[in-house]
Amino acid sequence: MSIFNMLLRNVVRRSVFPFAMKERRKNGLFLTSFYKTFPHRTLNLSPCLKDAEPNPSQKLNLDEWKNVMKSRRQEEICEPTSKCEEDSTLTAMREFVEMRRLASRSVPKNVTEEALKTLMELPTKSSRLKYLKFLAEKEKKINARKAKQEKKKQDQEELLGTVEKRDTDELKNTLLRRFNINTMENLHSWRAANAMIFGQPLVFDMVYENCMSRAELGNAVDQMMECEGFNRKSVDPFHLHYCNLSVDGPYHKGFSKRYGEAWDKLLVTVTEQCYTNLFPRDRLIYLTPDSRKIMTTFEHDKIYIIGSLVDKTGQPRSSFAQARRLNLPTAKLPLDKYLRWTSGRKSLTLNQMLCILLTLKETGDWKKALQFVPQRCYDGFVDVDLLSRLNDAKF
Amino acid sequence: MAFFLQASNWGLQTFLGRCFLFQPASTCQKSLALMVHLRSRDQVKGLPFTTSSQSAVPQDLRGVHMLHKSRSGSRDGEKEKRKESSREEDKKKSLMSPFSAGAAKHRSVRQRTPTSMRLPRLSKKDDIQPPEKPLNAEEWQEWRTRLKHLTNFETVMLRRMIKYESSIDVAKSLMADVVLRNGEVKYNLLLGYLILCVQQKQVAEIFDIYDIIKLRFKTLDPGCYSLLIRGLSDTERWREAILLLKEIRKVTPPSKGNYGYCIKGALNNQDVKLALELYHEMVAENVMPHMDVLQAFFDTCKGTQDDKLKKELLDMLLYFRENQLYPNEAVMQSIKLWFESIPGEKWTGRLTSMENGWGCPVCNQVLETIELSKKEYNILKKKIMKNVMQGNDIFKKTTPQELKRFQDFMENRLPYDIVLDGLNIVRCVSRICGYNVCHPELWHTLCYPTDLSSRSKSELFDVVSYFAQQNLRLLVLGRKHLNEFQFWKWNAMTARQGKVDFFFTENISQDDPFLVYATLHSGNNCKFVTRDLLRDHKACLPESIQQLFFKWQRGHQLMPFASRTKKIYFAPILSYDTVVQTTGDTWHIPYDDHLVERYSYEVPRKWLCLRRK
């Protein structure tokens, strides 16, 4: 909306303003306090501006604008806060944010108390600016989404108007009632329930909750939700286990906040216990990008473990160390074997891992499974058959 | 740019020269010379690591073109000469410590690391040239209609002006136009205009804008404060800059630039006391001052009689010492002049480089030793164990069982004289075909018949036996997969002599921490051999310990590298510590040569020697 308004304003300004100005100038009504038009030009004798057609009015008002500025009242940046108990540091912070906004930096328009307090807690200047930027981006996204929804609403209303004109008395002859979302949900839940009884277990190791920052943890929770959703919708779901999940730990809090009521009805096994207590050791395989062993085939009788860790700060070998501590066999995906890797780290996100494993479970086709690796990381698949033939020819 | 081309040129040259197809002094040589316009390394202009005083030959870039026609047939003789001189050069280089400035650059060239040529980035926005002279309202209107696609015309325009450093009048006319249209100027435009004024040092304008901003806004953002401080600090209103510094402090700690300009402003106005106060404040806040600030101090206080002030400046030099900072050439000159200007004390400063490896050639002063004190040693041992070996998770690098095994292994066998990183040596040295092992201190040469088939096994063997022959106790560290090299064969042989021990970690463990640990626990005389710079392990340590570690590393690491003459050299270890140091009557200050690019893991090679008569 606001963009539209601005456009309109610009158009009006550009089309109408010049004419208006001319008109006004003729009438001599135009802000004569600091802008005077002269009926004739005087000669300018400065040698450096020979080709410039000097305009004495210009010369005059070059510094005039400052006086205009000075004559204006001081702007109140902050609306006088009604809360007297708000301490001075918070006010200073608020002013800081406000001034950054005036300097057209990326800061959010509305800063909540909570965000300000978080800002205060951040230790360095750069971390504060980063956080502000993050908030600004978030705000932008939310606003964009709202605008989109508004538009959708309007379109729907228009559509409805046309629909209402139609005759609604006549019933269509159909075999089935229209599928609604609940029908599908039901089906997925049945499948998930089935998997809970008969499915192959897949373990998420939730032990890393304390070595992640707040942002990373939020991302991890999002990824876990994606995992659960994708798993539920598949033809043959895994039986998901969230192991080592401490009650009222950061992960637990994150899940309860995001899932709300649904958390207790989720068709996954959540446990505080370690996977080594739940399953026989010889069937466990820990998937970690630092492993030296490359996974060749997906084994249906093994239990794969994924460390649910989002690691932006680059602490390598965390999950590897965990596997080593428990003395478990490890494996990594054969990314280099099948993909011509170009850039990016080889630790994939949790939902990518789950998609890959599910596809492998259903088809056993690596090429199909590795479609889920982000396209930006590689530039095509390695022709494995050709390579193997070449190797055969060599030896 | 030219340097890159040069480097790739040598790369090709050395590559072709090393290939078996191009045996030297054969007919291939001619064709090689025809193909590539060869040039030896010491004749390249402006290379940072040339130590020779030969005059540089201006280079023509035609040598870059692969199919460049040769102009003269008599290249061979020339090439021979060049080869000779480059050999000399190599010998000189080999005597350079691996941690002295420019060494890394040299190594990277030797190793033929490909240098990617960067293309200039194309900006997304089409580049708009700002107007050359002040415009009036109608003309600005024209501009606006011409650049309809810009949503924030004024901001973009101002940015362009800043980029092209337009005259201040053009910006003024723009501001006037904005006022005329909207009746006011937004804060960000004022900021843009202020940047332009500060950039061009338009003092009167800065004052005006400052007054306007003060009138209009109660508080400002730190960026604006910084600009104002920078603008006001070298004018007569510099005291207001100091006030602004206090304003900044309410929200964020001031940056080194903020402090720097304030200090310079105070010094320019001969208020040394205030400058010192500010300086102490920033040091207390752990903000490293810029070099030019320190230079300003030394420049301003020339010829001072004040003993207190003198002490302050000497404390600054000690600050350099504590934080392993090195002055650059300009600061060094200021320091030298300051010392020489002290009335009543006849200081003389000379520039030198410690070629002899033990002390100053000018005044024969023995420099401080690189060895750590007992206390420092113990701290380092503890920290290495705690931060590098164990870290926040011991399983990342090793396992407790393995660590225990290693400690038990070491218990009866300590101390060693040399600890070798087996894998590293096998990897690095195997690039060379046949070679001899040389140590510059001994010039003790061993020749081996090279058997190409067993080469990969013999490198390590050669290096180890070279040390073993000098009756040194050795420990070779590796991973278990080194065992493929049939170590048992000569393991048995050397074990009989009881000089060489082996320790193999698991294949999934890291072996470098063990190397450091073993060397440290063997005591002060133990050295270790690896080409690894151990930077990632250094990074595990806290800041203050990193300097200790680096000092210890400089004094204990033997870095093997191969010359073109198929010999292995070990870079010499400097016996003195490169740090600002004094004995009261002498000062020795290492400084950065402005021609040499120094990396963070290197120390300068040039020194300033100051003596009192």
Q: How many CA atoms lie within 13 A of B139 on its CB side?
A: 16
| pLDDT value for B323 | 86
| pLDDT value for A228 | 92
Least CB–CB distance from A96: residue in B134, B169, B251: B251
| pLDDT value for A60 | 46
Instruction: For an interface test with A, give the residue of B166, B178, B215, B510 to mutate (most A CBs within 10 A).
Output: B215
Distance CA A7, CA B175 (A): 23
Q: Specify which residues B419 forms β-bridges with.
A: B475, B528
Evaluate whether A57 touches A25 at the Cβ level (below 8 Å): no
Mean of the pLDDT values across residues B451-455? 37
Instruction: For an interface test with B, give the residue of A99, A122, A212 to mutate (most B CBs within 10 A).
Output: A99
Evaluate whether B208 touches B180 at the Cβ level (below 8 Å): no
Closest to B571 in 3D by CA, of B608, B531, B542, B524: B531
* Closest CA of chain A from B136, distance in Å: 6
| pLDDT value for B251 | 78
- The nearest alpha carbon in chain A to B252 belongs to A125
Evaluate whether B352 touches B360 at the Cβ level (below 8 Å): yes
Pairing mode, strands A269-270 and A201-205: unpaired
pLDDT of A193-202, one tens digit each?
Answer: 999 999 999 9
Q: How many CA atoms lie within 13 A of B119 on its CB side?
A: 3
Least confident of A182-196, A323-337, B412-426: B412-426
3-state secondary structure of B288: coil
Least confident of A165-174, A180-189, A323-332, B549-558: A165-174
What's the residue count for chain A? Answer: 395
Tell the burial category of B388 from Cβ atoms under 10 Å away from its Cβ (0-12, 13-18, 19+): buried
Note the maximum CA span of chain B: 97
Distance CA B464, CA B475 (A): 9
Least CB–CB distance from A74: residue in B169, B211, B215: B215
Angle at B122 between CA B120 and CA B128, to 5 degrees: 125
- The nearest alpha carbon in chain B to A318 belongs to B396
Mean of the pLDDT values across residues A303-323? 88
- Cβ–Cβ gap A65/B179 under 8 Å: yes
To the nearest whole number, what is the mean pLDDT of chain B? 74
- Cβ–Cβ gap B176/A75 under 8 Å: no
Distance CA A180, CA A198 (A): 28
| pLDDT value for A359 | 93
Mean of the pLDDT values across residues A325-330? 91
In the predicted structure, residue A94 carries a pLDDT above the cut 80: yes
- Cβ–Cβ gap B219/A77 under 8 Å: yes
Instruction: For an interface test with B, give the residue of A102, A125, A207, A326 to mutate (most B CBs within 10 A).
Output: A102
Question: Which residues of B fall within a CB distance of 8 Å from A17?
Answer: 141, 181
To the nearest whole number, what is the mean pLDDT of chain A? 79
| pLDDT value for B24 | 38
| pLDDT value for A160 | 84
Mean of the pLDDT values across residues B244-271? 87
Question: Which residues of A fall within a CB distance of 8 Å from B253?
Answer: 125
- Cβ–Cβ gap A64/B221 under 8 Å: no
- The nearest alpha carbon in chain B to A123 belongs to B252
Query: What is the dihedral sign for C-alpha A102, A107, A113, A116?
Result: negative
- The nearest alpha carbon in chain A to B390 belongs to A321
Distance CA A128, CA A121 (A): 9
The residues, ordered by sequence, that sit 6+ positions from B36 with a Cβ below 8 Å of its Cβ are B9, B12, B13, B16, B63, B66, B68
Distance CA A123, CA B55 (A): 53
Distance CA B540, CA B557 (A): 19
B437 compared with A387, residue with greater pLDDT: A387
In the predicted structure, residue A14 carries a pLDDT above the cut 80: no
| pLDDT value for B498 | 61
pLDDT of A66-78, one tens digit each?
Answer: 676 666 655 554 4
Q: Specify which residues B505 forms β-bridges with.
A: B479
Distance CA B249, CA B365 (A): 46
3-state secondary structure of B418: strand
How many CB atoms neighbour CB B475 within 10 A? Answer: 26
Distance CA B469, CA B445 (A): 12
- Cβ–Cβ gap B185/A14 under 8 Å: no
Q: Given its phi and psi angles, is residue A364 left (phi above 0), alpha (psi -120 to 50 degrees) or beta?
A: left
3-state secondary structure of B150: coil
- Cβ–Cβ gap B136/A63 under 8 Å: no
Least confident of A17-26, A176-185, A322-331: A17-26
> Residue A252: pLDDT band by 50, 70, 90 thresholds?
very high
> Residue A222: pLDDT band by 50, 70, 90 thresholds?
very high
Here the tokens at position A67 are 């006086």
pLDDT of B288-345, one tens digit each?
Answer: 888 888 898 888 888 777 888 888 888 888 988 888 888 988 899 999 988 888 888 8
Mean of the pLDDT values across residues B115-130? 59
Mean of the pLDDT values across residues A31-53? 42
B445 compared with B174, residue with greater pLDDT: B174
> Residue A307: pLDDT band by 50, 70, 90 thresholds?
very high
pLDDT of B347-367, one tens digit each?
Answer: 888 888 877 667 788 888 888
Question: Which residues of B fall within a CB distance of 8 Å from A92?
Answer: 219, 250-251
Mean of the pLDDT values across residues B497-509? 78
Alpha-carbon separation of residue B291 from B101, B268, B302, B326, B541 (angstroms): 18, 16, 17, 9, 26
> Residue A304: pLDDT band by 50, 70, 90 thresholds?
very high
- Cβ–Cβ gap A102/B212 under 8 Å: no
Instruction: For an interface test with B, give the residue of A71, A104, A105, A124 to mutate (most B CBs within 10 A).
Output: A104
Least CB–CB distance from A58: residue in B136, B151, B507: B136
- Cβ–Cβ gap B183/A68 under 8 Å: yes
- Cβ–Cβ gap B224/A18 under 8 Å: no
Alpha-carbon separation of residue A187 from A81, A175, A177, A260, B527 (angstroms): 54, 19, 16, 22, 69
Least CB–CB distance from A64: residue in B133, B176, B508: B176
* Closest CA of chain A from B593, distance in Å: 32
- Cβ–Cβ gap A65/B185 under 8 Å: yes
**pTM of this structure:** 0.74
